A and B are shown apart, each in its own frame.
Chain A
Amino acid sequence: MTTQDFSATEMMTVAASRLLKDGTVCFVGIGLPSTAANLARLTHAPEVVLIYESGPIGAKPEVLPLSIGDGELAETADTVVSTPEIFRYWLQGGRIDVGFLGAAQIDRFANINTTVIGPYGKPRTRLPGAGGAPEIAAQTREVFIVLKQSARAFVGKLDFITSAGYLEGGDARERARLPGKGPTAVITDLGILTPDPVTRELTLTSIHPGVSVEEVRAATGWDLKVAPDLRTTAAPEPHELAALRDLLARTARAHGQSAGGEA
């Protein structure tokens, strides 16, 4: 790998932010999705509408929230509604273009596990659980998923499907009558995976600068398919990096770190 003036995490966040088009209505998960969505708002997509499950609609936080219900989100939002209203009128009501999610584990058909590793009744690792994700993954028009790539996180078959991607692949999602079209991109620190149009298996279609295909394969728990016309992701532009670093520095000054959670 050559020396680059950006980190793998910065590449991931910038690549994820670029997928959000200006004017999109986006239901935002905490953590990496929230960072990427706010970077989009601060760069190419000033009119993006960010909705958080705690109730803020049109949030424009100056610093990243520590949790899904920070006061900063409420204070900068166009309006704040109750949690039942968010899930009933805005999400189930079909008002959301993009669901932007993170995950603990993902499988080859972009199903997400945030519940348990091991048997449900006797878990090896108990994860936080579903939160808003099952209905976000089902009901937004499309879903972007952002997470770091490793063989532990990218597994052939999940112990537990918390939120549906393409289920067993092919037309399984349509047969299960999920309203939205499902995950259209999985953005990692190594590249971008998109579902095959027929089998719906996640395929490496873009690789980040300085990363080798072997590295991506090694960080994937199944035999990863690589697109014949594999592209190289454009490196972060100086203005993208500057906006991201400013945002993270402001956030660190405001609360000492930039992590997130749902409660």
Chain B
Amino acid sequence: MEVALSTITSLREAVSALVRDGDTVALEGFTHLIPHAAGHELIRQGRRDLTLVRMTPDLIYDQMIGMGCASRLVFSWGGNPGVGSLHRLRDAVENGWPHPLAIDEHSHAGLANAYVAGASNLPFAVLRGYAGSDLPHHNDRIRFITCPFTGEQLAAIPSIRPDVTIIHAQKADRRGNVLMWGIVGVQKEAVLAAKRAIVTVEEIVDELDAPPNAVVLPRWVVSAVCAVPRGAMPSYAQGYYARDNAFYKRWDPVARSREGFAAWMRRHVQETEDFDGFLRVLEETRRQEAA
């Protein structure tokens, strides 16, 4: 375990220093606080051969998979919520474009437990899970063990131990302690299961003023903290901004063709310097489309 006090730095420097080709990388956030800005930075820096972990791969994973960052996906539900399929994910799974993508498919309960096991420094998670499902027939990382006390059959899956976990949160203080609230998903477990952790935040403040039982990640479990206002867009950040539903709907036609997708990514991500740049170009695109 590499433990270092968190550093307040830019997202570009954090990704450059902490994410390597071939790493297992988890970007978590259950509908809320999805680290879109960090996903874009992985694309800009051209990371390759990543094992990407996420319970609910949605648009940002569609983008990373379509741009060729991933060779394996660990997940439990993949889609564009409220809209339909992820066309880039489907193209990778069904046609091997831009290259083949191995999948390691679970249920939510399985992955949530696997993060808890990782954070708990255990080799595997045990749960009453997958009973009667065909998933274990297609994923040899889902196995069954016998309880040594009762003889009951229980599901076992390997812990998730990411090289890097990346999340987005509402606030950090100037020393790098992080506070998040609302729907907090598996982010705390995903950070504590990882060797290194990057947290993007809406703002950096003098005092967190966190109540005693709040979800706080102390600075000594976080490698880097980066201020990226609106960094979860188009998902939402409770207390800051709402979900940009139009973006989710617009993504469907953008991602349908390989060419349309590549052009969109070039203009909005590869040719922009950072997430601020992305947001500016997105506004321009929307003005043009509205005209």
The stretch that binds B, out of A3-11, A132-140, A142-150, A206-214, is A132-140
Residues of B within 8 Å of A83, CB to CB, are 30, 55, 108, 112, 185-186
Distance of A118 from chain B, by nearest CB (Å): 9
Q: A174-200 interface mask toward B, CB cutoff 8 Å, 1 = contact, 0 = none?
A: 001111000000000000000000000
The stretch that binds B, out of A52-60, A229-237, A238-246, is A52-60
Contact indicator B109/A68 (Cβ below 8 Å) = no
User: A255 within 8 Å of B by Cβ?
Assistant: yes
Query: Out of A70, A111, A131, A260, which one reaches B108, CB within 8 Å?
Result: A131
The stretch that binds B, out of A13-21, A157-165, A217-225, is A157-165
Number of interface residues of A (CB under 8 A): 60
Residues of A within 8 Å of B83, CB to CB, are 259, 261
Residues of B within 8 Å of A95, CB to CB, are none
Query: Out of B107, B116, B152, B185, which one reaches A54, CB within 8 Å?
Result: B185
User: A22 within 8 Å of B by Cβ?
Assistant: no
Interface residues of A in 65-102 (CB under 8 A from B): 66-71, 73-75, 80, 82-84, 86-88, 91-92
The tally of CB-CB contacts under 8 A between chains A and B is 191
Contact indicator A67/B128 (Cβ below 8 Å) = no
Known contacts A82-B185, A261-B83: A87-B77 contact under CB 8 Å: no
- State the main secondary structure of chain B at its contact with A: loop
User: B22 within 8 Å of A by Cβ?
Assistant: no
Q: A7 to B90, alpha carbons, bound, how many Å?
A: 34
Distance of B128 from chain A, by nearest CB (Å): 6
Contact indicator B189/A66 (Cβ below 8 Å) = no
Q: A179 to B152, alpha carbons, bound, how many Å?
A: 12
Contact indicator B107/A134 (Cβ below 8 Å) = yes
- State the main secondary structure of chain A at its contact with B: loop
Q: B140-155 interface mask toward A, CB cutoff 8 Å, 1 = contact, 0 = none?
A: 0000000000001100
- Show the binding face of A for B, using Cβ within 8 Å: 30, 53-56, 66-71, 73-75, 80, 82-84, 86-88, 91-92, 111, 115, 120-123, 126, 128-135, 137-139, 160-164, 167, 173, 176-179, 255-257, 259-263
**Which 7 residue pairs are nearest across A and B when measured between Cβ atoms?**
A69-B31, A164-B132, A261-B81, A263-B56, A128-B79, A263-B58, A131-B77
24 A-B contacts (beta carbon < 8 Å): A55-B184, A55-B185, A67-B81, A69-B183, A74-B182, A84-B186, A87-B108, A92-B109, A115-B105, A115-B135, A128-B77, A129-B76, A129-B105, A130-B107, A131-B107, A134-B135, A135-B107, A135-B127, A135-B129, A138-B129, A138-B131, A138-B132, A176-B132, A178-B132
